[in-house]
Amino acid sequence: MVTAREIRLKRAQKRLDVAFDDGFEAQLPAEYLRVESPSAEVQGHGPGQRKTVAGRRHVGILSVEPVGHYAVRLVFDDLHDSGIYSWEFLYQLALEQPQRWQDYLNALASKGLSREP
């Protein structure tokens, strides 16, 4: 089980820097974290219910709130705050960032949506 040993909110850069206990470090853009939120609003309540969130190109993170010793809740400036980002999920997002981001861009294009608000 992986643990985040350090999390730094970089408001001006609109990103979250995360260092994990295995030495892996990641810079996760706020937009990426928002559109990949583990919340039911994004993931849905079951298989095939995932939603493509558009218009979040300029989203920022207002705060990072600890949830026990296993996760954080991110509060975005579009007021989305319902996703709990476990250390494991953040690690997965970091490892899979290039593919997930491309999948997101492809989904936007196929649905005629944009990253712009």
Give the pLDDT band of residue 96 (cuts 50, 70, 90). very high
Say if residue 77's pLDDT is above 90.
yes
Question: E strand or H helix at 42, and its extent?
Answer: helix 40-43
40 versus 19: the higher-pLDDT residue is 19
Structure tokens, 103: 């999948």
Give the pLDDT band of residue 45 (cuts 50, 70, 90). confident
Q: How much is the mean pLDDT over the chain? A: 96
What residue segments make up the domains of the chain, in order of their start? 4-110
What local confidence, expressed as pLDDT, does residue 47 receive? 77
- Angle CA 21–65–30, to nearest 5: 80
What local confidence, expressed as pLDDT, does residue 44 receive? 87
Q: Does domain 4-110 have CATH number 3.30.2020.30?
A: yes
